[in-house]
């Protein structure tokens, strides 16, 4: 894969030393990447295998994966100066001065074993158990690292009535990408881990014409390999185990087919996301761009009779306010962060979309889409470096042919 592109640099200052925000340095970069991947996988699956009165659906598997990549890149930090008030040339200068090639490569091998079983005891009790072992070895030009992980999962489903399921589950996973980070003694810290708990209820009523689901979830990212800073909040270059980044909340879904040709779907979620036991961020602060509240409702009506094939749909989507950045307790962890300053919240916004669709026959379908009908503008932020406006009112037509 080859990529070439321009990028904006620093703002130009005038003779008085004041910034001219409409003038920017422009840089240029060239990069090339080659990948070679392979996967070998075997699975033994048993469906409805009986041991007495108990039924099993199980999987025992093995997989072996390899991944090799190499990259090269060159940059020119200042090709020219552009002015947004003037026409901008897309022709590269003949005297382009690119840096020397920067090369990188890595090889990795991953071996995994998995075993899991869904056990049905009777009409009202079902459980599932599983475990996965994985071993990953990565080789770069400077070092070889290896990480191993055991990841269990378990759950139970209870059906006290035919249309009601009560469930609870636990899953565990590992994050090996930062496993090679070293502590103050030069030892690798190993994998980070994720623990997730879910519990809730799933129901259906009136012969599945009405469905209501409620889920409580809690996700903890533990044993994070966090950078260590000195008393002046300067990174020391080594890491330590710690951190407990937590996300917990609820999800509610209510959907119903009020008529055979009229369906309504609604959903709401609440997320309480916090940094805990962190070396860089204020305890209890929320990660950037994480809204506490989101809500949606969508309805679709399909005509019958002479208008058969025509349908109307509309939806309302709400995104709550959320922090524009992470709240640093002193460390400068990325571009755009302001240490010890609580970030402000980006305002919430609501958008309304609608569509008209017509199914001509089994092959042809046409849809006319109207998005953000009331032209409500919202913003999405990323580390204060980017604040992107949502799309204004817009329309689109889609013609589909199914073979």
In tens digits, the chain (403 residues) has pLDDT values of: 778 888 777 778 877 777 777 888 888 888 998 989 999 999 999 998 999 899 999 999 999 999 998 899 988 878 888 887 888 888 887 778 888 888 888 888 999 999 999 999 998 999 999 999 998 888 877 777 778 889 999 999 999 998 999 999 999 998 877 877 888 888 888 888 999 999 999 999 988 899 999 999 999 998 888 888 888 888 888 898 888 899 999 999 999 998 889 999 999 999 999 998 888 999 999 998 899 999 999 999 999 888 888 999 999 999 999 998 899 998 888 877 888 989 999 999 999 999 999 998 888 999 999 999 999 999 887 766 677 889 999 999 999 988 8
Q: What is the pLDDT of residue 178?
A: 80
**Which residues are CB-neighbours of 6 under 8 A, at least 6 positions away?**
26, 27, 28, 79
Cα–Cα dist 278/293, whole Å: 24
Q: What is the pLDDT of residue 182?
A: 85
Classified as helix, coil or strand, 190 is: coil
Q: What is the pLDDT of residue 385?
A: 65
Q: What is the pLDDT of residue 207?
A: 85
Phi, psi of 305, deg, nearest 5: 75, -130
Q: Using an 8 Å Cβ cutoff, are 333 and 374 in contact?
A: no
Q: What is the pLDDT of residue 383?
A: 66
Q: What are the Cα distances from residue 346, in Å, to 27, 70, 317, 373, 399? A: 31, 40, 16, 22, 36
Going from the N-terminus, what domains does the chain have, and what CATH number goes with each? 43-72+103-401 (2.40.170.20)
Beta strand residue intervals within 84-209, DSSP E: 102-120, 125-140, 144-161, 164-175, 192-205
Q: Using an 8 Å Cβ cutoff, are 343 and 384 in contact?
A: yes
What residues form DSSP beta bridges with 83? 23
Pairing mode, strands 364-371 and 322-323 = unpaired
**Which residues are CB-neighbours of 172 under 8 A, at least 6 positions away?**
151, 152, 153, 193, 194, 195, 196
DSSP 95: T
Pair of tokens at residue 255: 């959907």
Q: The whole model's pTM is what? A: 0.79
Q: What is the pLDDT of residue 230?
A: 85
Q: What are the Cα distances from residue 254, in Å, to 265, 288, 302, 350? A: 6, 29, 20, 20
What residues form DSSP beta bridges with 157? 126, 167
């Amino acid at each position: 894969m080859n990529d070439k592109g321009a990028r904006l640099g620093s703002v130009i200052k005038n003779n008085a030393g004041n910034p001219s925000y409409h003038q920017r340095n422009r840089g240029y970069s060239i990069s090339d990447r080659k990948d070679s991947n392979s996967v070998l996988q075997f699975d033994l699956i048993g469906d409805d295998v009986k041991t007495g009165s108990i039924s099993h659906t199980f999987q025992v598997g093995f997989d072996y994966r390899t991944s090799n990549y190499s990259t090269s890149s060159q940059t020119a930090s200042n090709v020219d100066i552009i002015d947004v008030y003037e026409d901008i040339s897309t022709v590269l200068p003949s005297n382009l001065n690119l840096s020397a090639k920067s090369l990188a490569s890595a090889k990795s091998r991953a071996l995994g074993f998995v075993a899991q079983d869904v056990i049905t005891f009777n009409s009202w009790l079902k459980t599932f158990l599983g475990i996965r072992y994985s071993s990953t070895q990565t080789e770069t030009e400077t070092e070889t690292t290896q990480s191993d992980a055991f990841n269990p999962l378990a759950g139970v489903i209870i059906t006290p009535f035919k249309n009601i399921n009560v469930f609870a589950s636990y899953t565990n996973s590992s994050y090996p990408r930062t496993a090679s980070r070293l502590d103050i003694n030069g030892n690798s810290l190993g994998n980070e881990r994720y623990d997730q708990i879910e519990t809730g209820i799933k129901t259906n009523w009136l012969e599945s014409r009405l469905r209501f689901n409620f889920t409580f979830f809690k996700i903890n990212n533990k044993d994070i390999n966090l950078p260590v800073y000195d008393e002046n909040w300067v990174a020391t270059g080594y890491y330590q185990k710690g951190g407990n980044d937590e996300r917990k909340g609820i999800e509610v879904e209510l959907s119903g087919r009020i008529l055979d040709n009229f369906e309504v779907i609604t959903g709401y979620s609440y997320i309480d996301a916090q940094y805990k036991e962190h070396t860089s961020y204020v305890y209890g602060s929320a990660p950037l761009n994480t809204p506490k509240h989101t809500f949606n409702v969508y309805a679709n009506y399909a005509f019958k009779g002479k208008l058969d094939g025509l349908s109307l749909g509309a939806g309302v989507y709400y995104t709550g306010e959320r922090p524009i950045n992470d709240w640093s307790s002193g460390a400068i962890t990325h571009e755009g962060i302001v240490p010890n300053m609580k970030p402000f919240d980006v305002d919430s916004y609501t958008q309304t979309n609608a569509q008209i669709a017509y199914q001509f026959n089994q092959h042809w379908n046409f849809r006319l889409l109207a998005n953000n009908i009331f032209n409500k503008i919202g913003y999405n932020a990323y580390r204060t470096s980017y604040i992107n406006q949502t799309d204004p009112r817009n329309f689109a037509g889609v013609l589909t042919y199914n073979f």
